Amino acid sequence: MNRSTSRDLYDRALDVLPGGVNSSVRATRPYPAFVERGDGAHVIDADGNRYVDYVMGYGPLLLGHDLPESVRAAVQSTLSGGPMYGAPTEIEVELAEFVARHVPSVEMCRFVNSGTEATVSAVRLARGYTGREKIVVMQGGYHGAQESTLVEGASDDPRPSSPGIP
């Protein structure tokens, strides 16, 4: 399998990105495959190699990379009103109502931009509700990039991979 373009991109990235990547989860050895595009349930790297995309953007791409026309139309319709306002909108109310209607255990929800934000919100809610400070995290698991839940290391080697990780 040819991966020379990914290797070249990695060498360039090492000059401007710590460790050559933007996240330690992307730091695969000997170097990561640099993805160029997605196609359905697959990604194609900069060398043209095709892989099944088991990551799917860590959740947002569960429908795959090649969106059906109806999804494209909905996205385009939303974008035509403007990308973001920093203020409440009717569509977020409609989406929250949809979630509450279709997930019986959900009475209310909060939308966030990342898994890290979701974890921060969950920890804050749990601490506020219980009055307890201590939380449980799983060794070797990923719970977001905030200090209160940052854990690294494999189950057989639980040492942090770099200084600064508790």
Total domains in the fold of the chain? 1
Could you tell me if residue 4 is inside a domain?
Answer: yes
Taken in order 54, 114, 61, 111, the sign of the CA dihedral is: positive
Q: What percent of the chain has pLDDT over 70?
A: 87
Cα distance between residue 101 and residue 133, in whole Å? 32
Using alpha carbons only, what angle is made at residue 59 by residues 53 and 151, rounded to the nearest 5 degrees?
A: 95
- Residue 155 is predicted with a pLDDT of 58
Average pLDDT over residues 107-122: 88
CATH code of the domain containing 11: 3.90.1150.10
- Residue 135 is predicted with a pLDDT of 86
Task: Give the tens place of pLDDT for each residue, 14-69.
Answer: 999 999 998 877 888 999 999 999 998 999 999 999 999 988 887 777 778 877 78
Task: Give the tens place of pLDDT for each residue, 53-63.
Answer: 988 887 777 77
Q: Determine the 3-state secondary structure of 6 from DSSP.
A: helix
Domain around 31: 1-83
- Residue 79 is predicted with a pLDDT of 80
In angstroms, what CA-CA distances link 9 with 1, 5, 6, 45?
A: 16, 6, 5, 11
Could you tell me if residue 161 is inside a domain?
Answer: no
